[in-house]
Structures are given as C-alpha cells and as structure tokens.
Amino acid sequence: MTFRVLVVFGVLYTAQCTAHSFPPSFKFGAATSAYQIEGAWNVSGKGLNIWDTFTHDSRNSVVDRSSGDIACDSYHLWRKDVDLATELGLQFYRFSISWSRLLPTPFRNEIDEDGAAYYNNLINELLKRNIEPVITLYHYDLPQALQDFGGWLNPLIADWFASYAKVAYSLYADRVKTWLTINEPSILCDYIYNTGKLPPMIYEPMLAPYLCNKNVLLAHAKAWRIYDEEYKPIYKGRVSIANNPVWIEPASPEYENLAELAREFGAGRYSHPIYSQKGGWPPSVERHMAELSKKQGYPESRLPAFSIEEIELIRGTYDYYGLNHYTSRVIRSRQPGEQIGPWIFYGCPELDAVLETPKSWPTTDADDVVMYPEGIRRQLEWLHQKYGNITFLITENGCASRGDDNDEDRIAFIKSYLEQVSIAIKEGINVEGYTVWSLMDNFEWLFGYKTKYGLYKVDFNDPQRRRTPRASAHFYANIIKARNTDVPTSQTPKRQEYHNHSNARSLHINILLLILFWLSVK
C-alpha cells in the first residue's frame, strides 16, 4: 500500500516538474526598433540615417514602396506602446535609440534636446509601470553622415560608436540597467555585403564582410569598456551584443564536420572573440580562411588579423549573451555545377557548401524563416558547450504573417520555441528571459508593411495608428501570467480571475500531495 502511494506521489510530482514552465526569475518581454516604429523622420533636429536616404531614393526596392517616415508614429504615440506592454504584462520592453535622433551631426558636439526627451519620457513611463527598459544602441540605422565616410568599413567607426554610446549612458544609465550595443552584426556585415540588397547597397563579398565584422567587434568592445569602467561601478547595469546565428545541422552524418565549421563561421566569428577564454577568431575559421585566401591568390588572409591589443580589448566584453533566433538550416557540400546562394540563408561559398531547409520543417509566411523549434535549444546547447556557464537572454524570436488576422502560425511558433527554451533551462542552461519580435506591426525593412510580426495589429491607414491585439497577444499574455506554455490560445482571462483559478488549482494539488504523503508514512 505504501509503495503504491509513493509511486502515485512520484508520478504527480514528476508531472508538475516536467511541464513547460519557467522559474520565478524568468522574464518575458517584447521588442521593437527605432526606425521601424518611431516615424518623425525629420522632426526637430534629427539627422538623416541610411534608411531615410534609402527609402527616399530607392523606394522601388521596398515591396510596397513604403518607408519609415511615419511608421507606427511611436515618437508621438509612445504612451500607447507602453499601454500595450502593460496590457501584456511584460517584465521588460526592448527598444532601440536612433543615433541620428540623439546626435544629429552625429558626433558629441550636439545633443538634440527633443530626441533626448523622447527617450527619457519612454524610459520613465516604463519604469512607472514596473516594466524594465532594455536599450539597443544600434539597430541598422547608421547616420548617413557616417556612411558617407565609409560606415562600418571605416576603422574609425569603433571610436565614433563608443562616443555615441557614452552620450547614451550619460543620459539614461541611471535608470536603464540592461543594454545591447549592436543588433545582429551578421546581418549588418555578412548579409548586407554578400547580397547588396540593404543599405548602404554595397555588394562586395570578398573583403567587406570581414572588415565590417572586425570593426563591429571593436566598436562593441569599446562601448562595453566605457560602461564597465565608468558606469557599472555606480549603476550596476550590464551590457552585451545581440547575435543572430542561424542554427546549422548536417544534411547527413557525413557532413557533421562541415556543419561544425559552418557554426564557427557564423556564430563563432561574432562570439569567439568576445566569449572564449583565449579570444581572437575561432581557430578553425582562421585556418580555413588563410588557406582559402592563399588558393585565391591573396597575399594574406581575407579575414583581417587582430593585434594582441585588439584581442585583449574585445575578449571578455560581455555580461550576458544576447541571442536573436529565428530559423535553422541543414548544410551539405556543393554538387558539381551547382550554384551556391549567398551566406547566411542560402549557402556558404567560403565553405563550398549549400544551405537547405528540409521539407519536413514547416514554413511560415516570412521569407527565409522555417519552423524548427529544436534549433533554438541546440543553438543554446552549442553556445553553452563552447563558452561555459554564461547567462543567456533571448533578445528576439518571432514569426511573421502576410495577412492581418491569420495568427495561428505565430501562436504555434511562440509556443513551440518557448517549450524548447524551457527544456534548455531544465538541462542546466542559464536562460533568464525571452523576447518576442515584435510588440506590434512595423516597417519590416524590404518587406515594408506587407510582412507583419506584431502581437498587435497596426492600422497604418489610421492617422492614430490604431493598435489591436491579435490572438497571439492574448496567448502571450496568458503565458506570462501562468509562466507556462500550457495556456488557452484564444482569450485572455481577467488577471484576477486567472490568479484565483491558478491558486485554487495549486491548492488542490498541494492538498492531494500532502494527503498522499501522510498515507505513505502511516
């Protein structure tokens, strides 16, 4: 009798512990970026950025010929954005600062008072609602004046960025405790220069991606060290960079070594210099690029070397790992005569390899995104194995749709990916939070307003940019309240009703467990 009761007790306890739940310290958030939501492109003293120039001069490049001139008009409607975050029950809201809005020239000689006040107001209102502001310093919108000097290919960009970061810290570090320096450097460097499709619309795949890669790492490191030396002792905050590796698996077991090299080529080039104990480029990538460059007739590697001083400058410049994750691929060697698409979604010419998506992986409405939830867990496991017991913050994850109201894919996406994050936590990986992209529909770069990532639908024909919750907003709010993915997908219960129901259910379970335990010792 006692043995049977103990078995039942164990089954019930295990069922509770193995649910896709999240610890009390785990935080839920959502994200946006400045150019995609703010609008007010020429308000007050704001300077031009490369997306202002691109959408005005090359409007045909955007599918609906749109721009971020008005977007969600968050510059004027920021209180509505905070209302959405409050309605969801977010613990944090990630947004970015527009460099050209804060520093119009874009150097430290002039701070735009209206621009600075906009971010001050947003930060203060978030804190008033008990929502933590998480700031990204750079999200694709380089000041046009700096691009005219060469942008991320000019080595001086590291000092320019560090100077801008210091201004932002001086204005907001007393209230903002979590920072990201640069969003998705592999898009910024690899995708842009390997395709030429995004501003500054330069196609140069041989040298530009790697020079940009190095300069981004130096810019991040200098900004991190300014905070670490001048602001962290006072405000106790933290700074990181938001990497977005595509998880890569072998198409068959014979390609495992190729897949591992591709992971180092993608995630490693932007992580190893920062997070590894020795610093510098991943050794396998450094060797491969040196050999490949020699075969191609270059006198030295196309991957620019770090000096000893640069290695030490970059190494260890993190307080956590910011991980944007959307999709995965499988890799195989190129077949004779086969064309290779550009890195990072279609192929890797440097490795003479093709990237593919298996037919068994469901597709979403978003270009280049397929659902492979295990990919986020395996990426976390790989980074954990490579760099040790570091803290992870999922800084972006989400699913797009082309229709206004079709939200089933997004709900399935969020649920399945969060379940994999929960599994990773139970494996001992320190994941402290999760961020949905995006809080609301916005200007999605080349896809304009056709592609919709928002938990909230935005009516871009309405002068007030009316925001309406989708089913996914209700679903995500339920997850946040329950701290579990096993929640209703259609309707948001009232907060107090849900709280009472949850307490009652927990009370019943606890009473049952206590009775069973009492019987077991009788």
Q: Which residues are catalytic?
A: 184, 396
Q: Please state, in angstroms and rounded to a whole number, the distance separating the CA atoms of residues 407 and 367.
A: 16
Kindly tell me the burial class for residue 510, based on how many C-beta atoms sit within 10 Å of its own C-beta (0-12, 13-18, 19 or more).
Answer: exposed
Helix (H) or strand (E) holding 93: strand 92-96
Residue given tokens 């001139």 in the structure block: 69
**Beta strands of 231-362 (E only): which ranges?**
238-243, 247-250, 321-324, 328-333, 347-348, 353-356
Helix (H) or strand (E) holding 394: strand 392-397
Q: List the one residue out of 359, 203, 214, 377 whose CA is nearest residue 285.
A: 214
Contact 469, 456 (CB under 8 A): yes
What are 415's two structure tokens? 């649920």
Contact 443, 55 (CB under 8 A): no
Distance of CA 229 to the CA centre of its chain: 26
Q: Is 36 left (phi over 0), alpha (psi -120 to 50) or beta?
A: alpha
How many C-beta neighbours within 10 Å does residue 335 have? 7
What are 44's two structure tokens? 């007050």
Contact 373, 417 (CB under 8 A): yes
Paired strand residues for 428: none
What are 504's two structure tokens? 């009652």
Distance of CA 225 to the CA centre of its chain: 22
Q: Please state, in angstroms and rounded to a whole number, the distance separating the CA atoms of residues 100 and 49.
A: 6
Paired strand residues for 31: 94, 437
Q: Please state, in angstroms and rounded to a whole number, the distance separating the CA atoms of residues 221 and 469.
A: 39
SS3 235: helix
Q: Is 352 left (phi over 0), alpha (psi -120 to 50) or beta?
A: left
What are 77's two structure tokens? 């409607």
Q: Please state, in angstroms and rounded to a whole number, the distance separating the CA atoms of residues 269 and 348.
A: 14
What are 341's two structure tokens? 């698409």
Contact 244, 325 (CB under 8 A): yes
Give me the helices (H) in 296-349, please: 308-314
Contact 124, 171 (CB under 8 A): no
Contact 33, 140 (CB under 8 A): yes
Verify cis geometry, omega within 30 degrees of 0, for the bond prior to 438: yes
